[in-house]
Amino acid sequence: MSSSSSPSVGSIGSGGNKFSLDGFFADNENLPHDTRRHLLAGATIGMCSTMMALFLLRAYCRFVILKVARIEDWLIIPGVIFAVLQAVFIVMNARLGGGDHIWDMDFGNIVELAKTSYLNNLFFVIAIAFIKFSMVFQLMGISIKGTKTRKFIIAVFAVSIAFTIANFMLALFPCFPIPYMWEQTDPTLKAKGKCMDITVVSYTTSACSIAMDLMIWVAPMPLLSKLKVPRPQKIALIAVFSLGGGACAAAVGRCVSIYRLAHDKNAMKDAGYHKVEFILWSVAESHIAIICTSLPLIRPLLKKVFPVVFGGSSARSRSKSNTTAPSNTLSMGPIRKKPLIHDGYGSSTEELAESMRRDGLGHGGGGDAVKESHVHGTSRGSEERIPPGWGEAGRAERMV
């Protein structure tokens, strides 16, 4: 639609922000006709492909190499499914004209564009919810029952449920009735309804997401700072768990893009073109979150393929050294002939949990655990000397 004559349309809008198209066509020869359709589709497909590759590697490590699956491994699956659906509908949006200037769009696709926008936003909210739940349970796997850190993580989980319900309701009912969300874009339908302010809703969901990301990101740091492990290992663990900051950075980028849209009248009028940045930040937030939760869990595969680089042999030697330690060397933690991590291929999460139990973190800095070790020794000596507190946490077998 690049002719100089004005098209026969009255108004178009989304989320209650209608505007007239008349002014756009006063001087159509000088209007830009570039498009962001290829950027929108290409970047989305690229992020989705990367996310799927790492998720499949994670699944292979958990289900095939380690032959275990905890609740976080199951919770991430619906998160991945809805993240893929989000990407699919964004690509559909691009094929329908998303990323074009409004004067270059096929106005016969406007209603379908509004529908795909509604669905990809709804799938985004659901995906983020399951991803956050998975991250919280992953943190529970490295905390010990009864500690302040475990209580904090449980509180984060409760808050995440509340945020999820609020965000889901906002995404599900942006307009009343719901069909008014897309029917208002076609002036021939003469639809009647009412919509919430898109800017307020977007700010609310972004603020909730950033708050959750920060809490999840900060939660394991006190545990990491207390670990009595070699400095290189501690730095590596901090680096792995700092990856969660990637999802938080994407949420901040999404919030910034909302601010730019809200304070630029021309951007709001030409939303199909200018909302590409906001949409891509949304894709990045959900997909990077999955990537960040998957990276620490693919270490078993890296150890198996590159044992020298990723320390597969060192983990074995550490397990062997634990079995030969003197029975009164309590600082080395629980002593077993059976290694806590199968064949040295445990993930970074499992290694952190093992180090915590070895240092007695979460039980008064180890003092109570040491006392229990003296009192609760078994007739089998150094083969099975596990303090009751560690056994109650149930990590030795379940964390592998």
User: Which letter does DSSP use for residue 43 in this model?
Assistant: H
Residue ending a domain, choose from 298, 318, 339: 298
Report how far residue 185's alpha carbon sits from residue 13's, in angstroms, rounded to the nearest whole number. 5
Residue pair 60/6 in contact (Cβ under 8 Å)? The answer is no
Q: Are 282 and 321 found together in one domain?
A: no
Q: Are 205 and 261 found together in one domain?
A: yes
Six token digits for residue 348: 């970074």
Residue 223 within a domain: yes
- Given this model, what pLDDT does residue 374 score? 38
Q: Are 259 and 326 found together in one domain?
A: no
Residue 141: domain span: 12-20+31-298
Say if residue 397 is exposed, middle or buried (CB neighbours under 10 Å; 0-12, 13-18, 19+). exposed
- Given this model, what pLDDT does residue 353 score? 54
Q: Are 198 and 335 found together in one domain?
A: no
Q: What's the 3-state SS for 117-169?
A: HHHHHHHHHHHHHHHHHHHHHHHHCCCCCCCHHHHHHHHHHHHHHHHHHHHHH
Q: Are 37 and 69 found together in one domain?
A: yes
Q: Are 133 and 149 found together in one domain?
A: yes
Q: Are 64 and 141 found together in one domain?
A: yes
Six token digits for residue 92: 């559909």
Q: Are 188 and 329 found together in one domain?
A: no
Q: Which residues does the chain have with pLDDT short of 50?
A: 1-20, 25-26, 312-345, 360-400
Q: Are 231 and 373 found together in one domain?
A: no
Q: Are 264 and 350 found together in one domain?
A: no
Six token digits for residue 169: 């309701």
Q: Are 268 and 379 found together in one domain?
A: no
Residue 48 within a domain: yes
Residue 178 within a domain: yes
CB atoms near residue 6 (< 10 Å): 14
Residue pair 111/188 in contact (Cβ under 8 Å)? The answer is no
Residue ending a domain, choose from 273, 298, 323: 298
Domains contained in the chain, number: 2
Q: Are 154 and 253 found together in one domain?
A: yes
State the CATH number of the domain containing residue 107: 1.20.1070
Six token digits for residue 90: 């964004």
Alpha-helical (H) ranges within 141-264 are 148-172, 180-183, 198-218, 221-226, 231-241, 245-262
